Amino acid sequence: MANLVLGTGTCGSCWAFSTTGAIEGANFIATGKLLNLSEQQLVDCDHQCGPNKKKECDSGCRGGLMTNAYKYLIEAGGLEEETSYPYTGKQGKCQFNPKKVAVRVANFTTIPIDEDQIAAHLVHNGPLAVGLNAVFMQTYIGGVSCPLICGKRWVNHGVLLVGYGAKGYSILRFGYKPYWIIKNSWGKQWGENGYYRLCRGHGMCGMNTMVSAVVTQAS
């Protein structure tokens, strides 16, 4: 239910990749078709703001929030495919064409911090957009990451939660731990072919504080 791992380049567009990944998964569950949707549309065209308008506006390569992006897509009428609006790795003039919309966003929901509920939503709704503290991802090369100290309040990176496992080895904890499987957007050469395994059950790195699911409809 997830496409191949791609890279954001030097553009801070992780939030856009997290958003499109969740929409692609939801659309696959609804239609059986795995589309490759346009992150660039979000980077160029989405300036949606949250309740705190001065601090939470989507700003292309300077960052954004997945829930803001869902709101933008509901208002804009949907999202184009990658083929019609390809990723450039930099912010440009909005080229959105409503006639080329491939998927529409009907609704979205934020998910409570309880990790059992997050797992249940993952099973029923497919990949989830997640925000977390990425400080320990900078040096990750593989295995289950269980940082001893990882601030839960400094959420600074958008990723895609795609699965979980019961038993993976953590070098730092000298044992086997349950884990989340996370799709990153730093390219296939990073981590485990572009994926990250993070300790499950402790709200590690704030991964349970900004989780959202989306509902799609055909264009």
Residue 75, domain extent: 13-216
Residue 10: the pLDDT is 84
- Residue-level pLDDT at 171: 66
Question: What's the CA dihedral at 184, 185, 190, 196 to 10 degrees?
Answer: 0
Total domains, the chain: 1
Residue 6: inside a domain: no
pLDDT of residue 199: 93
Q: How confident is the model at residue 152, as a pLDDT?
A: 84
Is residue 14 among the annotated active site residues? yes
CA angle 4, 76, 56 (to 5 degrees): 80
Is the pTM higher than 0.85? The answer reads yes
**Which residue numbers in the chain have pLDDT < 50?**
none
Let me know if residue 1 belongs to a domain.
no
Domain for residue 8, yes or no?
Answer: no
Give the model's pLDDT for residue 192.
96
Residue 198 lies in a domain: yes
CATH of the domain at 140: 3.90.70.10
Is position 125 annotated as part of the catalytic site? no
In the set 3, 68, 125, 184, the catalytic residue is: 184
Q: What is the pLDDT of residue 154?
A: 87
Q: Is residue 116 part of a domain?
A: yes
Structural domain includes residue 93: yes
Determine which one of 3, 11, 14, 199 is catalytic. Answer: 14
Q: Say if 76 falls within a structural domain.
A: yes
Question: Does any domain span residue 7?
Answer: no
Rounded Cα–Cα distance for residues 194 and 186 (Å): 7
Annotation marks residue 124 as catalytic: no
Distance, in Å, from the CA atom of 66 to the CA atom of 82, rounded to the nearest integer, reads 18
pLDDT tens column, 167-204: 786 766 667 889 999 999 999 999 999 999 999 998 99
Instruction: Considering the candidates 3, 27, 150, 157, report the single residue annotated as catalytic.
Output: 157
CB contact at 8 A, 146 and 172? yes
